Protein backbone atom coordinates (compact mmCIF):
# COMPACT_ATOMS: atom_id res chain seq x y z
CA UNK A 1 0.00 0.00 0.00
CA UNK A 2 1.35 3.40 -0.95
CA UNK A 3 0.42 6.64 0.74
CA UNK A 4 1.07 10.29 0.09
CA UNK A 5 1.47 12.97 2.73
CA UNK A 6 1.46 15.85 0.24
CA UNK A 7 -1.78 17.05 1.81
CA UNK A 8 -0.04 17.29 5.19
CA UNK A 9 2.81 19.39 3.80
CA UNK A 10 0.36 21.64 1.93
CA UNK A 11 -1.75 22.06 5.08
CA UNK A 12 1.34 23.08 7.06
CA UNK A 13 2.21 25.67 4.41
CA UNK A 14 -1.38 26.96 4.27
CA UNK A 15 -1.36 27.41 8.06
CA UNK A 16 2.07 29.04 7.99
CA UNK A 17 3.60 26.18 9.98
CA UNK A 18 6.90 24.38 9.52
CA UNK A 19 7.99 20.77 9.99
CA UNK A 20 9.71 21.90 13.19
CA UNK A 21 6.27 22.66 14.63
CA UNK A 22 5.30 18.99 14.46
CA UNK A 23 8.71 17.84 15.72
CA UNK A 24 7.50 18.92 19.16
CA UNK A 25 5.52 15.70 19.50
CA UNK A 26 6.85 13.40 16.75
CA UNK A 27 10.22 11.68 16.67
CA UNK A 28 12.75 12.45 13.96
CA UNK A 29 12.34 8.91 12.61
CA UNK A 30 8.60 9.46 12.22
CA UNK A 31 9.20 12.75 10.39
CA UNK A 32 11.62 10.87 8.11
CA UNK A 33 8.96 8.24 7.37
CA UNK A 34 6.47 10.96 6.51
CA UNK A 35 9.03 12.62 4.22
CA UNK A 36 9.64 9.33 2.41
CA UNK A 37 5.94 8.49 2.10
CA UNK A 38 6.22 5.42 4.32
CA UNK A 39 3.43 4.06 6.48
CA UNK A 40 3.08 5.43 10.00
CA UNK A 41 0.75 4.26 12.74
CA UNK A 42 -2.81 5.43 13.07
CA UNK A 43 -1.81 6.83 16.47
CA UNK A 44 0.65 9.21 14.75
CA UNK A 45 -1.98 10.31 12.24
CA UNK A 46 -4.46 10.98 15.06
CA UNK A 47 -1.85 13.07 16.92
CA UNK A 48 -1.31 15.14 13.78
CA UNK A 49 -5.05 15.56 13.27
CA UNK A 50 -5.57 16.71 16.84
CA UNK A 51 -2.72 19.20 16.59
CA UNK A 52 -3.91 20.53 13.23
CA UNK A 53 -7.62 20.22 14.09
CA UNK A 54 -8.39 18.35 10.90
CA UNK A 55 -9.48 14.95 9.59
CA UNK A 56 -7.17 12.14 8.49
CA UNK A 57 -8.26 12.65 4.88
CA UNK A 58 -6.90 16.19 5.12
CA UNK A 59 -3.32 14.96 5.69
CA UNK A 60 -2.94 11.56 4.02
CA UNK A 61 -4.04 9.99 0.76
CA UNK A 62 -3.97 6.29 -0.11
CA UNK A 63 -2.62 5.89 -3.62
CA UNK A 64 -4.07 3.34 -6.01
CA UNK A 65 -2.15 0.10 -6.44
CA UNK A 66 0.04 -0.03 -9.50
Q: What is the mean pLDDT of residues 22-46?
A: 94
What local confidence, expressed as pLDDT, does residue 65 receive? 83
What local confidence, expressed as pLDDT, does residue 1 receive? 74
Domain range holding 45?
A: 2-63
CATH number at residue 55: 1.10.260
Domain count, the chain: 1
Least confident of 14-18, 21-25, 57-61: 21-25
d(CA 37, CA 4): 6
Q: Which residues have CB under 8 Å from 23's CB, separation 6+? A: 31
pTM: 0.90
Is residue 66 predicted with pLDDT exceeding 90? no
What spatial distance separates the first Cα and last Cα of the chain, rounded to whole Å?
Answer: 9
| pLDDT 10s digits, 39-61 | 999 999 999 999 999 999 999 99
Amino acid sequence: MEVSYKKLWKLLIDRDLKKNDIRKFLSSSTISKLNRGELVSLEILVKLCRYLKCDIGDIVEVLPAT
